[in-house]
Structures are given as structure tokens and as C-alpha cells.
Amino acid sequence: MAKVLMKGNEAIGEAGIRARGLCYFCYPITPQSEVAEYLSKRMPEAGGVFLQGESEVAVSNMLYGAAGAGVRCWTSSSGPGISLMMEALAYIAAAELPVVIVNIVRCGPGLGGILPSQSDYRQAVKGGGHGDYQCLVYAPASVQEAVDLMPLAFDRAERYRNPVLIIGDGMIGQMMEPVEFKEHKFPPLPPKDWATTGCKGRKPNVVNSLYLDPYAEEKLNLRMVAKYEKMKKEEVRCEEYNTDKPYQALLVAYGTTARICRTAIHKLGEEGIHVALLRPITLFPFPRQRIYELAQKVDWVMSVEMSTGQMVEDVELSVRCEKPVHFFGRTGGVVPAPEEVVEAVKKQLGAGKGGQA
Amino acid sequence: MKTIFKRPEALAETPTHYCPGCTHGVAHRLIAEVLDELGLRERTVGIVPVGCSVLAFNYFNFDCQEASHGRAPAVATGIKRGRPDLIVFTYQGDGDLASIGMAEIVHAANRGEKFTAVFINNAVYGMTGGQMAPTTMPGQVTTTCPAGRDVEQVGYPIRMCELLASLRTPGFVERVAVHQPKYIIKAKRALKKAFQYQADNRCFSFVECLSTCPTNWGLTPLKAVQWVDETMIPYYPVKNFKSPETEGEGDAD
């Protein structure tokens, strides 16, 4: 299929439909309302369900219900709305329901602003809702990648029976880029024999997260952990840039920030400074092992983020605190310029030299 | 020999954990009888709440989902929109539906979601140990209003049927009681209508059941029945408030 020029949010909406995500619940919030606007027109054409709920609280519970009845369903929102969904997300995770949630991240905390940010990293990766659970988290760096990750997200949500988050900073939602909707093929999914679809010919199914017996709850917790361990083995995705030749520093950045870093690395290269980049595509599971390997060749690593430094902790864990991990970021909706990253790298290299002298 | 009384198929063969004199069991049974009589059991999904009936999925013999506190109408909406062929009902108490879940029930009703909402009103939070509910009667003593509900401070009990019946969207709204046989017979009739409207894909249906809570009211089961008669029914009239047939009556437009 030929490429078309689309705004990120609309492309995500179309990708959801093509991935047979034909049941979409939403509540308007900037900077992702275009997903809902697009689907309000497109979903009826595709024969799917579009419903604007009364709140994100309701929307996330609609997802719980629909997913529990075996329906492939999803939503999109942004920071404050995602916070309201956290309660239901914990229930969704506990009831082991496949749900896809797209967060087009705006700056925060609180009402914050509507400009791009990566400040929801911890909420997405470290929990957000209550209890022992994890989400599989994808972080696209382009509209094309966001479109490609949608079918993967649905597949993995159903394969693992676990919620999947797609974290795109505001840039991913708002910018226009050429995209191609490719055919994605996956192995057959297991049957949803656990879903509440009416008990004709079988024993009743119950979608539930209540376990008053501590041993039963612990058993559930351990079953969930086993899924997360499997994800860590099989689902890690990352991209490398400039790691195939000698480099003096390693940057770790995801989403739009990774693209800014690539430009910065190119500029540094013109000055004879060779820097490599690792871009996590999955934020959970995090590409810990690869970061550790790549960090062996440098004195320090730098995490570059549109936040006050959230992923940096995972980078530190990845290098097992054997090397210093520095941080550079802009936040509050400020998108760092490549020149700022160049300066941050040079400053650190200079500091390193000074330290050795 | 002709069978004149048996356990409905839609009710599991499990003893319930409800207190003596509690009417949850009656409400469960009525729902089960209605689903059997309408032949809906095998395509029904019940949404059970947070509250005393949190374990109701053990007592019903059909598919169930456990909702978070207050959100049963949103969960039901998700199921019904995704699978309109299923029969979906919610089962919520007064704290669940009229306090934390007020937004969800009002909007589900206003959208005309085609599920059946069963509302158990016993004027108190049961499972958490007898705290004040939005439906607690004026002057009623609870663990969080030990001097009795002070309407100057916390307002009057919310009448959910009256509130939902004011919505323009067509629906079936009826208040019944499940504390005495003469009311129970009418309650079953209302529940049957409610599920029939859903089966016919007609409208949102809401049945409020005035119920007892002897434990948290501090009354014997018999006195609790009396209390429903003398205190609740005068404030919460038992009647039909709205049905698709009478739609439009009294509307300004």
C-alpha cells in the first residue's frame, strides 16, 4: 500500500481499526482528541463500536467489561485522563484482561500543560495503579512506528492476557508524517475460553480480581510474575544507532527524544566526536542487557528525556551502577533542541577529561 | 409428582454468607427465577458489586464479572456495546450506586444503555460495617452518624428512581420492596418486565429493591421488616416511575 500523509493521532486511530480493534471507548483530552474525532467517523464505517463515555473512570471500566466479554477493545487518552484510568487498570491487570491504552503524553503533574512530554514514564512502567502488576509498554518514535506497534500491542495483550500501553509523547500524536499501513501476521491466538460470553454448554466463567484467600491471591500474583518474566525474555525491543563503530559516549533515549539525539549525534560526528544511541522501544520490559553490553565500551552513559529524569533510574540499573549515568532533559513541554544535547554531551566529555587530569 | 418449588437453575447450589434477615437472598432468587422463566440464563452476564454481595458470582449459576466500587454500569456498558446479544445486569447497593457510582448510573441511564440495573437500597453501607449511605434515613443512626443523619449537614436521602425517571431518555424505572411476600410478588413482576425490555432490545431498565439490613440497623429481622414499612416506604414510594409505554407523559416538550 502507498504511503499517506497523516497526523499521528488519526494514524493511530486508523491503525487500531486495521488491527481489528473495533471497540473504542474514549473521553476527550488534549493532545489526543483527534483519535476520538477520527474514530467517531471511521468506526461506524468499519462496523465497530465508538462510544464517548462520561469520564475516563467510566471509559476504563467499559474496557474492563468489553475485554472481559472477549471483545478486542482499546482507548486513548493523556496524562490526567490516564491517571483516572489507573484504578481500572489495576483491575484489568488482576483479572488478566487484554486491553490496549494509548497515552499521548502531555506535561505534568496536575493539569500541567498540553505540550509534549515524557513525564508519565514511571506511571506507565512502574505501576500507576495499586498492587503487584506490570504493563507491557511500547514507545514509538515516529508515526509509522506507532502505526506498526498497534497490531503488535493487540496481539501481545491477548497472547499474555495483560494490558498493553503505548506511550507516545505529544509530538507523536500531533505531527504529520507519511505512513504505510502494512499487513501484520501473527501466529494464532489462544481461544478466549475464559471470557464471559454466556455459559451455554460450559460452566460459568467469572471475570474477577477478588481473592480473599491469601494463598489464592499469592498464586495469582506469581502467575502474573511468570508472564512478566516471559516478557523480559521474549518481548524486549530496542534500536541502536552508531553502535557499529567506536564511540566515546552512549546515549539512551526513547520516542521523539531519540530522534533529537540522532540529529545531535550526527552533529557531534561532524566534529569528530563519536556517540552511540540505544533507543528502547519497549519501556517494560526494558532493554537492560543490551544497555549493559553497550556501556562496556564507554566511561559513562547519559539518559536523555523530556522529563526531570525518570528513565535514568532504569538506565542506572541496566549498567548495574558500574558506570556513571548522567541525565539531560528538558521538561514542562519544552522539547530539547539537538544543539542542547550536543552541548550536554560535550560538557560531560570535558568534565570527564578534567576528572582524569 | 409435579414439582411446585425448586432451586432455580440460575442459582448455584451454594449456601450464601448473608446475615439472618437480610434480603439479598430474596433478590438473588427473584433474578434467578426470572432468568430461568425467560430462558436467558445461558446468555446472561451479571455484574456483581463491591459490598455485601461482592461474592454473588458464587451464588449465581451463569457468567459474572466483578466490578470495582461504583463502576458496574460502566462495565455493563462495555459488555453490552461490545456484545449486544448478551443479557447483562448490574447488581449494586446504595453506597455503590448512589454515592461513588452516581455518575456511572446516571450516564448509563441517560444513554439508554440496554442493560438491567438492580439497585439494592437498605439505607446503609453493609459490608464495611454500617456507615451512613446517601440513602440513610433522616435521624437514622449509623457508625458515621452516631447522633442520627443530620439533614442540615449532609442533606436528605437520595431517591434514585425519582432522579433517573427525570431523564428524557426512555427507560423502565420501578421501585419495589423485597421484605414481605406481597411486595416480593410485585418485585418479581417488575424484574421480569425489566429483563423482558432488555431481551426485546427496548430500553434501559432499573429496579430499586427496598431491602433490610438487621445487622447494621441493630434490629431483629422482624423489627427490620417493620422498619421498611414504617420508615422507608413512606419516603421511598413503591411504584412504577417510568416505562417505555408511558413515555412522553408529563414532558414539557
pLDDT tens by residue, B9-61? 999 999 999 999 999 999 999 999 999 999 999 999 999 999 999 999 999 99
pLDDT at A146: 98
pLDDT at A356 over 90: no
CA distances from A32 to A54, A74, A146, A346 (A): 17, 14, 13, 36
Q: Are the C-beta atoms of residues B47 and B67 closer than 8 Å to each other?
A: yes
State the nearest Cα–Cα gap between A209 and chain B, in angstroms. 7
The set of residues, in sequence order, having a beta carbon less than 8 Å from that of A92 and lying 6+ positions away, is: A60, A63, A64, A67, A99, A163
d(CA B62, CA A203): 8
Q: Does residue B145 form part of some domain?
A: yes
The three grid cell numbers given for residue B105, joined into one nine-digit string = 448510573
d(CA A64, CA A99): 8
d(CA B122, CA A260): 60
> What's B90's domain CATH number?
3.40.50.970
Q: Which of B54, B83, B104 sits opposite A71 (nearest CB)?
A: B83
pLDDT at B248 over 60: no
pLDDT at B251 over 80: no
Q: Are the C-beta atoms of residues A255 and A309 closer than 8 Å to each other?
A: no
Q: Does residue B181 form part of some domain?
A: yes
**What mean pLDDT do residues A338-352 have?**
94
Assigned architecture for domain A238-356: 3-Layer(aba) Sandwich (3.40)
Q: Does residue B2 form part of some domain?
A: no
State the nearest Cα–Cα gap between A264 and chain B, in angstroms. 46
A351 — pLDDT class (breaks 50, 70, 90): confident
Q: Does residue B53 form part of some domain?
A: yes
pLDDT at B253 over 90: no
Model confidence pLDDT, tens digit, residues A75-120: 999 999 999 999 999 999 999 999 999 999 999 999 999 999 999 9
Q: Tally the domains of chain B.
A: 1
In chain A, where are the structural domains located? 4-234, 238-356
Q: Residue A91: its chain B contacts at CB < 8 A?
A: 68
Q: Residue B53: its chain A contacts at CB < 8 A?
A: none
Q: Which of B66, B78, B79 sits opposite A208 (nearest CB)?
A: B66
The CATH number assigned to the domain with range A4-234 reads 3.40.50.970
To the nearest whole number, what is the mean pLDDT of chain B? 96
d(CA B128, CA B120): 16
ipTM at complex level: 0.96
Instruction: Report which secondary-structure segment, H or E, holds B132.
Output: none
pLDDT at B245: 84
Q: Residue A44: its chain B contacts at CB < 8 A?
A: none
A354 — pLDDT class (breaks 50, 70, 90): very low
**What mean pLDDT do residues B204-224 have?**
98
- The parent domain of residue B137 ranges over 24-243
Q: Does residue B44 form part of some domain?
A: yes
Q: Which one of A27, A97, A206, A212 would you mutate to disrupt binding with B, by most B Cβ within 10 Å of its Cβ?
A: A206
Q: Does residue B18 form part of some domain?
A: no
pLDDT at B247: 65
State the nearest Cα–Cα gap between B10 and chain A, in angstroms. 10
**What mean pLDDT do residues B212-216 have?**
98
Q: Does residue B252 form part of some domain?
A: no
Q: Does residue B6 form part of some domain?
A: no
Cβ B77–A209 below 8 Å, yes or no? no
DSSP bridge partners of A191: none
Count how many pairs of residues, chain A against chain B, have C-beta atoms within 8 Å. 136
Q: Which one of A49, A61, A101 would you mutate to disrupt binding with B, by most B Cβ within 10 Å of its Cβ?
A: A61
Q: Which of B44, B54, B82 sits opposite A71 (nearest CB)?
A: B82
pLDDT at A26: 98
Least confident of A143-147, A324-328, B91-95, B249-253: B249-253
Q: Residue A87: its chain B contacts at CB < 8 A?
A: 68
